[in-house]
Amino acid sequence: MGSLDAKPAETQEPDINDQAQLWNIIYGFGGSLVLRCAVEIGIADIIKNNNGSITLAQLASKLSIPNVNSDHLYRILRFLVHMNILEHEICNGGVDKVYSLKPIGTLLLRDAERSMAPIILGLTHKDFMVPWHFMKEGLASEGTTAFEIGMGMPIWKFLEGHPDQSQLFNEEMAGETRLLTKTLFEDCRDIFQGLDSLVDVGGGNGTTIMAIYETFPHIKCTLYDLPHVIANSRDHPNVQKVSGDMFKCVPTAQAILLKLILHDWTDEECVHILKKCKEAIPKETGKVIIVDVVLDEESTHELTKTRLLLDIDMMVSTGGRERTLDDWDNLLKRAGFRSHNIRPIRAIQSLIEAFP
Ligand SMILES: C[S@@+](CC[C@H](N)C(=O)[O-])C[C@H]1O[C@@H](n2cnc3c(N)ncnc32)[C@H](O)[C@@H]1O
Ligand SMILES: O=c1cc(-c2ccc(O)cc2)oc2c(O)c(O)ccc12
């Protein structure tokens, strides 16, 4: 608590720690782009495949880049050590440093099941960073996103016309799913156990629904998304694929899954989607399973900042938002759901069951 004679903030001199804090926020993009470079050149995979540790000279020789500038590579490694992603040990009588992965560094592996590499490559792609430069213009226009202003069209139209970026986006979302599914099935087994059929609405390339089928093979599973997404989605002999527009209709099933869908849309659009989902499930035994962010603005949890940044991302990219407990309560009431429960899971998102 401030004392009564404390100076107002504007008359207090910011100290060097304040400067450092701001420098680190300003240069946040630098950290992201070093990570991107590390993933692009496959540093983590090379270290892992070299029995878990490597010298600078060995790493330089294994990169698929001709004439590697060793000084530049050294400085990238030094930064990654400072960021606690790599660690090093001095060997050969102090001549060489041997680099290895800290636990967090394994999340940069491109060939691992639980990897953040697809998220790094998606979020830092030039085309997906352009809209962030139009945040100010987005502030001045009701109903038009920064993405639309910067890229000339809404994100879903852009992805339809740009297959490479669409694939990158779908791989990013699939990477996110692979990070989540183990936790989801451990923390929420009961939620899927009793189902006989499930439609994953806006299910992307099918990674989530296929993981659900593999864990709960008694469920009749359907993947539903826009036609161009379904056309490029994975095949599975026991997962039916249906293309369409969730604003127009949703295939019927006992349960509908909406994973990272509602945070893409405004409240009015969400009410519309939720009503379509409600029409597609039985009144007595049906449910909508929502896997999405629940924001607690007061929480000091490490993921609160990530959730607030995702909220800004949704404002910039899709016109959607992240929602608090009260926001979810209001939304589900407006869409006519009689009750719901919210279960935190060990992830950015929570799991919400909504009953018609
Ligand atoms: C943020 S992604 C989430 C993908 C997936 N549920 C996941 O969590 O990995 C949103 C998905 O909604 C789909 N989508 C957007 N508009 C849609 C519409 N009108 N009808 C059906 N799907 C739509 C997109 O193609 C995309 O796959
Ligand atoms: O750029 C994104 C990122 C996400 C995202 C990444 C990781 C998570 O744990 C959750 C969400 O989601 C997005 C999204 O839903 C969207 O429509 C556009 C962009 C992104």
Does the beta carbon of 204 lie inside 6 Å of ligand 1? yes
Instruction: Measure CA of the first residue to CA of the last residue in the chain; give whole Å.
Output: 46
Out of 50, 83, 108, pick the residue that ends a domain.
108
Q: What is the mean pLDDT of residues 219-231?
A: 98
- Examine the domain organization and report whether 242 and 147 are in the same domain: yes
Check pocket membership of 38 for ligand 1, CB cut-off 6 A. no
Residues 67 and 205 in one domain: no
User: Could you give the percent of the chain with pLDDT greater than 70?
Assistant: 97
- Residue position matching structure tokens 């090093």: 88
Q: How far apart are CA 147 and CA 129, in angstroms?
A: 9
DSSP bridge pairs for 295: 324
177 and 75 share one domain: no
Domain of residue 271, CATH code: 3.40.50.150
Domain finish residue from 108, 135, 161 = 108
**pLDDT at residue number 1:** 44
What is the b/e burial string over 320-349, where b = at least 16 CB atoms within 10 angstroms of the residue's CB? bbbbeeeebeebbeebebeebebeeeebbb
User: For position 2, what pLDDT does the model report?
Assistant: 47
| Pair (339, 227) in one structural domain | yes
Low-confidence winner among 3-12, 137-146, 318-327 (lowest mean pLDDT): 3-12
How far apart CA 213 and CA 210 sit, in angstroms, is 5
User: What torsion, rounded to 10 degrees, do the Cα atoms 54, 59, 63, 68 define?
Assistant: 170
**Residue 263 annotated to the active site:** yes
* Domain contains 2: no
| 100, β-bridge pairs | 53, 87
Q: How far is CA 18 from CA 21, 22, 23, 25, in A?
A: 5, 6, 9, 11
Q: What is the model's pLDDT at position 310? A: 98
Q: Hunting for tokens 């009260």 — which residue is that? A: 326
Distance 225 CA to ligand 1 centre (A): 6
Cβ–ligand 2 contact at 176 (below 6 Å): yes
Instruction: Please check whether residues 249 and 322 belong to one and the same domain.
Output: yes
Report the pLDDT value the prediction gives residue 3, as an integer from 0 to 100. 54
User: What is the 170 CA–ligand 1 centroid distance (Å)?
Assistant: 9
The structural domain count of the chain equals 2
**Ligand 1 center to residue 203 CA distance, Å?**
6
Cα(356)–Cα(346) distance, integer angstroms: 27
Condensed to tens digits (0 to 9), the pLDDT of residues 135-191 reads 999 999 888 999 999 999 999 999 999 999 999 999 999 999 999 998 999 999 999
**pLDDT at 295 > cutoff 90:** yes
Q: Are residues 127 and 193 in the same domain?
A: yes
Q: Which domain, by its residues, includes 143?
A: 117-355
Q: For the chain, how many residues are written?
A: 356
Instruction: Quote the pTM value.
Output: 0.94
- Are both 181 and 321 inside the same structural domain? yes
94-103, 237-246, 315-324 — which is least confidently predicted?
94-103
Domain-terminating residue out of 43, 75, 108: 108
Cβ(212) to ligand 1 under 6 A? no
Please tell me which residue in 88, 133, 218, 263 is annotated as part of the active site.
Answer: 263
ipTM of the prediction: 0.96
In the reported structure, the alpha carbon of residue 246 is separated from the centroid of ligand 1 by a whole-number distance in angstroms of: 9
Whether residue 111 is predicted with pLDDT greater than 90 in this model: the reply is no
For residue 180, the ligand 2 atom closest to its alpha carbon is 9
Residue 58 belongs to some domain of the structure? yes
Residues 57 and 88 in one domain: yes
If one residue of 178, 181, 225, 234 were mutated to test the ligand 1 pocket, choosing by the most ligand atoms within 8 A of its CB, it would be 225
Burial class (CB in 10 A: 0-12, 13-18, 19+), 301: exposed
| Buried residues in 11-25 as b, exposed as e (16+ CB within 10 A) | eeeeeeeeeeeeeee
